[in-house]
Structure 1
Amino acid sequence: MRFAQLLEVVLVFAPLSFLTVGGGQSIVADIHRQSVDVYGWVTNPQFMDLYALSRIIPGPGALLVTLVGWQAAGLAGALVASAAIFIPSSLLVYALAHLWTRFKGTRCIRAIEAGLVPVAAGMVLAASCTVLRAAEGGAWAWGVAAASTLTLMYTRLSPFLMLGIGALVFLVALG
């Protein structure tokens, strides 16, 4: 039973390792789907707690994987999940680094880089939508997220100011 749980953790997170284009945030949507909907390791509220914890603790964005692994299979699950998310992509990047440097600036490399930008942006957007849905904040949450996104795209306001304004909106709306 224990081995089967650890194998499930590896089978979920090792393939996701290769999709972390744009950082760990880009795979949050699939981490949610796998850990809540497919395997039931955590509930929606537990996922949101783990997500929030992974954002406030210093370290890589993929720390969420370690926390989900912990919920799935204890300490061994946390260690296996961490190894599964970091080792495969690290080995691939190490193997490709020489080729990337050798062909830097060529048409092929520029095309690959240009193609990865919208993919990474789309994955981060999907992660944001997944977190908004899982948080169950309703129209207020979606409105604050949209207003914050547009404001930050078109002004030079501090993201900290937007966090404060968002908190005030929710205090007024819920109070």
Structure 2
Amino acid sequence: MILWQLFLSYLKIGFFGFGGGYAMLSLIQNEVVVQHAWMTNAQFADIVAVSQITPGPIAINSATYVGYTVGMQLGHPVYGMLGSVIATLAVCLPSLTLMILVARFFMRLKNNRLVEGAMRGMRPVVIGMIAAAALLLIFPRSDAPGDRNFIDGWSWMLFGAVLVGSWRKVNPILLICLSAAAGIVIYGLF
């Protein structure tokens, strides 16, 4: 039953996740933390962090990790692997189907005023969904015990340092590595 719910949740995320991985994060968080309570906000934030630093699209990476976590709740590593496969396929299935259909007709419709208007109308929504994902990670909506805000003073300092580094065009890989090292020092020692 839980694997079927996982499939349906990620199929829904795949169908309505306009704007790519970051825009999908608020949908994913709503499904896995709020609707089904498969994990806490802190666990979800960890999955987002791991998904961010591993190669590949963040939505697919997070689907794989969430699927594994949810599957493991059934008590055997085989279910974890099955959950990973189910969530990953479910999130990819709508995009794959849509891209096959769109690729066929897009060249004929790309200059259509209605299609152009729809695309322009979705841009602000995508930005809003990305902002919502960031805010949901900072200010969790759940009142579950132990599901508290994972942002502390050190996190804000790391955020500020990475923001300045990004603004000054420091290599993102270097920023990720330095942030990981800072996290080991800060959270390993204090």
- Larger deviation, residues 157-166 vs 10-19: 157-166
Q: 1:99 aligns with which of 97, 105, 116?
A: 105
Q: 1:72 aligns with which of 52, 59, 70?
A: 70
Show the counterpart of 1:26.
23
* Cα distance in 1 between the residues matched to 2:107 and 2:4: 35
* Cα distance in 2 between the residues matched to 1:101 and 1:80: 33
Matched residue count: 170
* Cα distance in 1 between the residues matched to 2:155 and 2:35: 26
Show the counterpart of 2:74.
none
Cα distance change, pair 37–94 in 1 and its aligned pair in 2 (3 A): same
Q: TM-score, normalised by structure 2?
A: 0.71
Q: 1:53 corresponds to which letter in structure 2?
A: V
Which consecutive residues of structure 2, in runs of 5 or more, have no partner in the other structure? 72-78, 141-148
* Cα distance in 2 between the residues matched to 1:143 and 1:105: 46
- Larger deviation, residues 30-39 vs 120-129: 30-39
Q: Is the 8 A contact 1:100 1:109 kept in 2?
A: no
Structure 1 residue 37: Cα displacement:
2.4
Q: Deviation digits for residues 93-126 of structure 1, max 9, x if unmatched?
A: 2112222211112212211111111111111111
Q: Is the 8 A contact 2:158 2:179 kept in 1?
A: yes
Structure 1 residue 36: Cα displacement:
1.8
* Cα distance in 2 between the residues matched to 1:117 and 1:147: 29
- Larger deviation, residues 105-114 vs 140-149: 140-149
Structure 1 residue 38: Cα displacement:
2.2
* Cα distance in 1 between the residues matched to 2:118 and 2:153: 37
Show the counterpart of 2:115.
109
Q: Is the 8 A contact 1:132 1:141 kept in 2?
A: no
Cα distance change, pair 129–166 in 1 and its aligned pair in 2 (3 A): farther
Show the counterpart of 2:9.
12
Q: TM-score, normalised by structure 1?
A: 0.76
* SS of residue paired to 1:18: helix
Identity %: 28
